[in-house]
Structure 1
Amino acid sequence: MMSILKSRPFNIGMYSTLLKGCRRYLYQLRAEENKWSLHSLRPNRTRTYYKRPEKKKGGPSIRGWVIFAGTTVGIGVAGIIFAGAPSKEPEEDIDNYDHKNIALAYIYRAKDRLRNSIKYFSDPISPKLLPDPLTEPYYQPPYTLVLEMTDILVHPEYDRATGWRFRKRPGVDALLRQCAPPLFEIVIFTCEGGMGAMPVIDKLDSEGCIMYRLFRDSTLYKNGHHIKDMSALNRDLSKVIVVDWDRNATKLNESNAVHLKRWDGDPSDTTLFDLIPFLRTIATSGVSDVRTVLDFYRQQGDDMLEVFKANQARFLEEEQRRTKLQRERGAANNRWSSGGFTGKFFGSRSAPEARQEDQNFEGPTDLSVPVPAISEPPATGKSDSNVSPQSNSNTWWSGWFGSSTTNEKSK
């Protein structure tokens, strides 16, 4: 072959043809040795494609169903045997299924233990969530104020840079100071876990106004909601007020609930400042049953605080009119009663008569407005500049709240 290349001028086409022939000859020799087909060895002549296997129709085979059923039954039987075995610990309840068939006894015991396990996680951690009320010589506040933490006092916010942070609602400090003992026994009852909520409450309660703290393990879990059962609070329900935004959380004690709008972090919110006079009015009026007061305001509208503010404005307007009328009568009295014969001639009233008319004055014409004036509680040594002082005259309004002690003492 080299002699052919030297004898003739170089030609690319002839050289490539010669190489193809040599390659074909080598393939033939290898095919004869291994008994292969020449067509199977030709490069780039045959192409293979991936074919997706056809899906079997009709689902799993009978064998698969038998294996699945056998495994399920085996696991169930093993679970019943494990959970329904007689107890060997003396502190557990006495077995009440000895008189039944051994198979049924195992099933009943397993069922009871499963129910107890579910109940352990869904029911409150204790039948009495708070200790017994304080007795003398200690002081027990007459009313209990239950507050939700999340979206009532604080609002959680998440940031990838800082993680979870809590924004404090405007008026939290004023609410805790103005409603602290001796007016209310403040309890934080939140649906959050104790590990995450405890540090937040410590930051909020720098002055020690909060007496007790209850968390998620004290709620009743039912139908996907954490419910706050006030009957397990170990307090008189006629003296308990619950402040929350979630109606599902207070549906067992709807008459004790004050529902506020869920706070979304707005710094201009004033809801807690509006709540303070409402709560202080109830506490200082000596209401025997707070549920009657809350039910009345609930019937007037969905927003109790707005109804209270409207009624309070009407009451203050009537009070100003009454004060103005008394001043006019007092001025006329002083001008004519000192005139002697002239005063008698013109028919002026004497001072005792004017005082008698002032005592007979019945106040506002609409006595159905249940807005007593706010009186200051016993001195606690704490004040809040954010809450404006109110009038201290609530004697003749306290009767609407179910307490006539003030009038009886005055008599």
Structure 2
Amino acid sequence: MWKQLEMGLRAFWLIASRIWGCLCFTLRKQTRSIIQHQSVKYDLFPLSPLSRHRLSIVKRKILVLDLDETLIHSHHDGVVRQTVRPGVPPDFSLKVIIDRHPVRFFVHKRPHVDFFLDIVSQWYELVIYTASMEIYGAAVADKLDAGRGILKRRFYRQHCTPLFCGYTKDLSSICEDLSSIFIVDNSPGAYKTYPFNAIPIKSWFSDPTDVALLNLLPVLDALRFTSDVRSILARNLHLAG
């Protein structure tokens, strides 16, 4: 009898320990997920006199921004994109004429892009440089600018150099002084000619928990104080968020 009771208790504790282990694993997984996906804040503080002096003696720099899969993701009617979950509404839509045919684009803004543009426009002169057609890229840039006048300078496909599988972007056509210009782009081919003037960023399609733009803010905050962005970016080629 005692032997049977002992065996029963052992079996009970074995089952209970397995259930407890499973619960702990699930709890840890959920906790990691919450920590990973929680919103990131970037607080702005007044500059110290030393920082203000430093900014006064270095040249104001140019931040070049790509559009598709960097700041936004879009798809057009008639094309099924597996990267966007069915039923997810776009942030805005555009209707443009391409080759005499009307095409409607459904555009999704990368999480925190409005906040990101608000902040970096205070630090840099912003330039949009996209390999997309101008009729589409200009309409997207207008929507992102939202009348703020922060995205006035724009370059499009006709300003790019075709490659076998994409386009490269000529930063020297924007500014001859390469010490004061850099690009944020999800496509390495875009900045192939200027690897020391680039910050990579992972491609974005539809993940609502993405914080890559927020993660770039500390780097961008620091770069504005440098005399030559290449002195930093040449040593940090894997900053993708």
TM-score range (shorter-chain normalised) is 0.5 to 0.7
- Matched residue SS, 1:274: helix
Which residue in 2 is equivalent to 1:145? 63
Aligned match for 2:74, one of 156, 180, 202: 156
Deviations along 1:337-374, whole A, 9 cap, x unmatched?
A: xxxxxxxxxxxxxxxxxxxxxxxxxxxxxxxxxxxxxx
Change in CA separation of 1:262 and 1:305 when aligned onto 2, cut-off 3 Å: closer
Code of the aligned partner of 2:213: L
- Matched residue SS, 2:193: helix
> CA shift at 1:159, angstroms?
4.2
- Matched residue SS, 2:76: strand
Code of the aligned partner of 2:219: F
Q: Is the 8 A contact 2:61 2:180 kept in 1?
A: yes
Which residue in 1 is equivalent to 2:12? none
Q: 5+ unaligned residues in a row in structure 2: which ranges? A: 1-57, 80-92, 94-103
Aligned match for 1:200, one of 140, 145, 149: 140
Code of the aligned partner of 1:228: K
Which residue in 2 is equivalent to 1:295? 234
Q: Is the 8 A contact 1:192 1:215 kept in 2?
A: yes
Please list every run of at least 4 consecutive aligned residues from structure 1 whose deviation after the TM superposition is greater than 3 angstroms.
Answer: 158-163
Deviations along 1:223-260, whole A, 9 cap, x unmatched?
A: 34311011222341111111001111110001101111
Aligned match for 1:210, one of 139, 151, 160: 151
Which residue in 2 is equivalent to 1:256? 197
Deviations along 1:152-181, whole A, 9 cap, x unmatched?
A: 111012344984201001111111111114
* Greater Cα radius of gyration, structure 1 or 2: 1
* Structure 2 CA distance for aligned equivalents of residues 186 and 224 of structure 1: 27
* Structure 1 CA distance for aligned equivalents of residues 75 and 207 of structure 2: 12
TM-score (ref. length: structure 1): 0.37
Which residue in 1 is equivalent to 2:39? none
More strand by share: 2
TM-score (ref. length: structure 2): 0.62
Code of the aligned partner of 2:233: L
Q: Is the 8 A contact 2:185 2:199 kept in 1?
A: yes
> CA shift at 1:263, angstroms?
0.3
- Matched residue SS, 1:149: coil
* Structure 2 CA distance for aligned equivalents of residues 155 and 186 of structure 1: 19
How many positions carry a matched residue from both structures? 160
* Structure 1 CA distance for aligned equivalents of residues 59 and 227 of structure 2: 14
* Structure 2 CA distance for aligned equivalents of residues 211 and 276 of structure 1: 21
1:168 aligns with 2:80: no
> CA shift at 1:297, angstroms?
2.2
Which residue in 2 is equivalent to 1:190? 130
- Matched residue SS, 2:188: coil
* Structure 2 CA distance for aligned equivalents of residues 178 and 270 of structure 1: 15
More helix by share: 1
CA RMSD of aligned residues (A): 2.1
Q: Residues 3-402 of structure 1: matches in 2 within 5 Å?
A: 142-160=60-78, 163-181=104-122, 183-206=123-146, 207-283=148-224, 286-298=225-237, 302=238, 304=239
Code of the aligned partner of 1:142: R
